[in-house]
Amino acid sequence: MKKITKIDELPQGQLPNTKLRVAAYARVSTDSDEQLESLKAQREHYERYIKSNPEWEFAGLYYDEGISGTKMEKRTELLRMIRDCKQGRIDFIITKSISRFARNTVDCLELVRKLIDIGVYIYFEKENLNTGDMESELMLSILSGFAAEESASISQNSTWSIQKRFQNGSYVGTPPYGYTNTDGEMVIVPEEAEIIKRIFAECLSGKGGGTIARGLNKDKIPARRGNHWSAGTVIDMLRNEKYMGDVLLQKTYTDSNYNRHPNTGEKDQYYYKDNHEPIISREDFAKAQDLIDERAKMKCKGVKKNVYLNRYALSGKMVCGECGRNFRRKTNYSAGRSYIAWSCIGHIEDKESCSMLFLRDGEIKATFTTMMNKLAFSNKLILEPLFKSISQIDEESDRERMDAIDKRMEQLMEERNTLITLMAKGFLEPALFNQERNVLD
């Protein structure tokens, strides 16, 4: 027989103390030192404010640094906070203002509704607005609309101010690697300047962006913000006019939807010569541009393929079974570690046209070694029949082919000698000579 025990209710004063789990959200619009100091102050304020309330339990502080309020998908901390709300870790959120939380009316209302549905409410300090006390969304809609208008107005004023500074040459953006901003002036950082000189020197010696980047990574030279060096980063630096003391302003622009685009003539640009102390001479900078342009032309004409055909043991020897394109060697990064892999060029350029995934370098070499061992130990079954078949090829046809090859080789040698003669007499530019010689080789 079941035994039932009644558990009497506790008096009201003896009920367990269930505290409200309160989190705070803060954001600064830019990554300037002044704004980041503001973020630090916000963090200290909210932590002290929440912990001072005995009925509240501090559930964490979420903050986004240097992220525009108009880019919701880039505000990783805000998105993380919403996930924690869905997982039941947060009951209440405090934030400075609607404009700090969301500068777009639609985004603001959508977030508020989403959080209310799961029982989480928000308190906006500036507007003194608690979404848990609201019977309607009218006030929030009006206030967030004002915030959106204010954001657009600030953006327009900021754009106008930047344009004026573009025109009078007083604008100072984020300095590139090798420089720092001191009292509004670009000042050389000696240690970084040596790396810039090394990059240009290696470029002038004939090295490409990828080779230079690998050398920097091998020597454990940190890139800005601790990232790895890449070919693209090196080429961008070699193309940057700031290293010869000039500045081109408004290389990019932001459209009405706050998306950034390269400025290819849509907006005015401003070029200032001798704006600051150079790291590289104009002569070396110009030579570097010529070399980069020449390498790009060679790549377009297919010369690079021949030049680098034997760079690695597997270069030019792996063909995709799906699209027929060659495989390219790449360095991939996963969980903070790097590894070598080979990827189909067709897949790299268009994943929809070729579904071939990358292959790890170690796996390919292990497979190759296994196949070589099979050939070595099974030569009577595989190699001897193959050689026998080859030896049975019609000798006359073989001689005709050899004659044709000899004639073609003589023709190529004549063309090569002609090129050397033209070069020696000064009728041919060195860059063009190298290009044509690579084709003949």
Let me know if residue 3 belongs to a domain.
no
The kind and range of the H/E element at 314 are: none
Assess whether 211 and 244 both reside in one domain: yes
pLDDT < 70 regions, the chain? 1-17, 28-39, 66-72, 103-106, 134-173, 225-226, 250-260, 265-266, 298-310, 390-399, 412, 415-441
Which residues does 279 contact at the CB level (< 8 Å), separation at least 6? 178, 188, 193, 196, 197, 243, 244
Model pTM? 0.40
Let me know if residue 284 belongs to a domain.
yes
Let me know if residue 168 belongs to a domain.
no
Assess whether 222 and 274 both reside in one domain: yes
Strands (E), 117-269: 121-124, 129-130, 179-182, 185-188, 247-249, 252-254, 260-262
Assess whether 422 and 367 both reside in one domain: no
The kind and range of the H/E element at 337 are: strand 337-344
Which among 198, 44, 160, 27 has a CA at the least distance from the CA of 103? 27
Token duo for residue 190: 């000696």
Let me know if residue 8 belongs to a domain.
no
Assess whether 184 and 230 both reside in one domain: yes
- Listed residues 244, 271, 300: the one ending a domain: 300
Assess whether 123 and 191 both reside in one domain: no
Assess whether 108 and 211 both reside in one domain: no
Helices 190-204 and 282-300 pack at an angle, to 10 degrees, of 50
The secondary structure of residue 53, as a DSSP letter, is -
pLDDT at 403: 72
Let me know if residue 61 belongs to a domain.
yes
Domain enclosing residue 409, as ranges: 399-441
Assess whether 325 and 225 both reside in one domain: no
- Listed residues 392, 415, 432: the one ending a domain: 392
Assess whether 112 and 144 both reside in one domain: yes
Assess whether 141 and 50 both reside in one domain: yes
Let me know if residue 10 belongs to a domain.
no
Assess whether 408 and 361 both reside in one domain: no
Let me know if residue 325 belongs to a domain.
yes
The answer to whether 208 touches 199, Cβ cutoff 8 Å, is no
The kind and range of the H/E element at 61 are: strand 56-64
pLDDT at 12: 44
- The total domain count for the chain is 4
- Listed residues 274, 300, 326: the one ending a domain: 300
Let me know if residue 47 belongs to a domain.
yes
pLDDT at 401: 72
Residue 212 maps to which CATH number?
3.90.1750.20
Assess whether 292 and 384 both reside in one domain: no
Assess whether 295 and 313 both reside in one domain: no
Site of tokens 């906070």: 81
